Amino acid sequence: MSENQTEPNEVREIRINPIVPSESVLVATARSMRPKKAEELAPRDTRKHVETCPFCRGNEHKTPPVILSWPPEGDWQIRMVENLYPVLGDDREQTGFNFGLQQTIDGYGRHEVIIDHHEHGIAVHEMAESHLAALFGVYQTRMRQLFESDERLKYVLVFKNFGPAAGASIPHTHSQVIAMPVVPENVDAEVRNSAAHYAKHHHCIFCALIDEALTFEATLYDRTSGAVRRKINVGQYVVERGEKFIAIKPFASRYEWEVHILPLAHQADFLDVRAEDLADLARVMKRTMARLDAVIGGAQYNFFLHSVPHDAHRDAHAPSYHWHLEICPRTSIPTGFELGSGLFVNTINPEQAAERLRMVEL
């Protein structure tokens, strides 16, 4: 096949992120055929207990004092402690400075570790739904406590790293919480663009994307030949759906197997999720992670919660912003083009990836 010939199903197009248009993705499926070194599959340490692990039950003396635990009494199932190597902290006072164009602000904040489960090597999709619901409840509780503890805190980020390439330094399953006095740029971009969309169209762009995923279908034809260029089917991007939450493959997926989980009804703040609805969130999360494990088992990944910032504009942004959980498996290593251009390259057609995930029998 010559260089100018392409496979019939080959995709090569730049997709614009509808939430943050400046963040675009180059979908180039032919790139998947090139020789490359993929991210290593993270070795699964499936042991239930490791004597030397500071996060395993019985080794509580190896970590800082507990901040909170669940359940409050008896053997803990989830435990939170301070991070020994925090990126932000409140251990000392320091003031920012301005010098010409250079400026800093105090690196005040909190950085804490949530030990997700007492079992050392359990995976998210192996946890009981009731346990995952409790874990989301712990996220909520600590986020609320941090916001109420200091008015300087504008944002609390909850995230999980799995695998060395995703930033995990300890194999025992855990997630992290960082409270900061600034709103991260990527969250701020989501907030600003969704607010601009709301001002123009008077509805939440996240809600519109969910509606499209559940109801939209179309056939696009070549205007010259009349051949079908693309067919968009109802539910094409839906990976999993519960009563209250939905897992969707983004149209402009930055990562090959990226999936987002959102509440079906509009909700700006993760703290507003009712306790009785956390069970459905846990079910959608567990089944989504099981699908990902079945298709790309052992992949390293990050997931993180994006919720409305608790700044002076919180109430104003409540109608336009929609909290969500982003799951980003790390199945490839960024290249110089991606790092230099800021343009993500995805070598798997998002529609085909979503179909493969849906086809998994659970």
pLDDT tens for 69-82 read 999 888 999 999 99
4: confidence class by pLDDT, cuts 50, 70, 90: very low
Q: What is the mean pLDDT of residues 255-268?
A: 97
Q: So what's the pLDDT on residue 163?
A: 81
Q: What does the alpha-carbon distance between residue 96 and residue 98 come to, in Å, rounded to a whole number?
A: 7
Quick check: 93 pLDDT over 60? no
Contact 194, 321 (CB under 8 A): yes
Average pLDDT, the chain: 88
Question: What are the residues facing 230 on neighbouring strands?
Answer: 220
- pLDDT-based confidence at residue 36 (cuts at 50, 70, 90): low
Q: Summarize pLDDT for 305-354 with one digit per residue, the tens.
A: 999 999 999 999 999 999 999 999 988 887 888 888 888 899 899 999 99
Inter-residue long-range contacts of 274-278, CB under 8 Å, 24+ positions, other chains counted:
275/137, 277/244, 277/245, 278/133, 278/136, 278/137
Res 197 pLDDT > 90: yes
Give the per-residue pLDDT at 105: 62
| pLDDT tens digits along 44-60 | 788 999 999 999 999 99
Mean pLDDT calculated for residue range 98-121: 81
Q: Which residue has the tokens 């004597």?
A: 51
Query: How many whole angstroms separate alpha carbon 360 and alpha carbon 362?
Result: 6
> Are residues 249 and 327 in contact, defined by beta-carbon separation less than 8 angstroms?
no
Which has more confidence, 136 or 46? 136
Percent share of the chain, pLDDT over 70: 86
In sequence order, what are the residues at sequence separation of 6 or more whose Cβ sits closer than 8 angstroms to the Cβ of residue 333? 36, 37, 38, 39, 165
CB atoms closer than 10 angstroms to residue 325 = 25
Give the pLDDT mean for 161-174: 83
Give the position of tokens 């503890």: 149
Distance from C-alpha of 319 to C-alpha of 266, rounded to nearest angstrom:
8
Query: Model's pTM, two decimal places?
Result: 0.89
* pLDDT value for 98: 63
The pLDDT tens digits for 143-154 are 999 999 999 899
Q: In which band, very low, low, confident or very high, does the pLDDT at 20 lie, cut at 50, 70 and 90?
A: very high
Q: What is the pLDDT of residue 22?
A: 86
Round to whole Å and give the CA distance between 133 and 244: 13
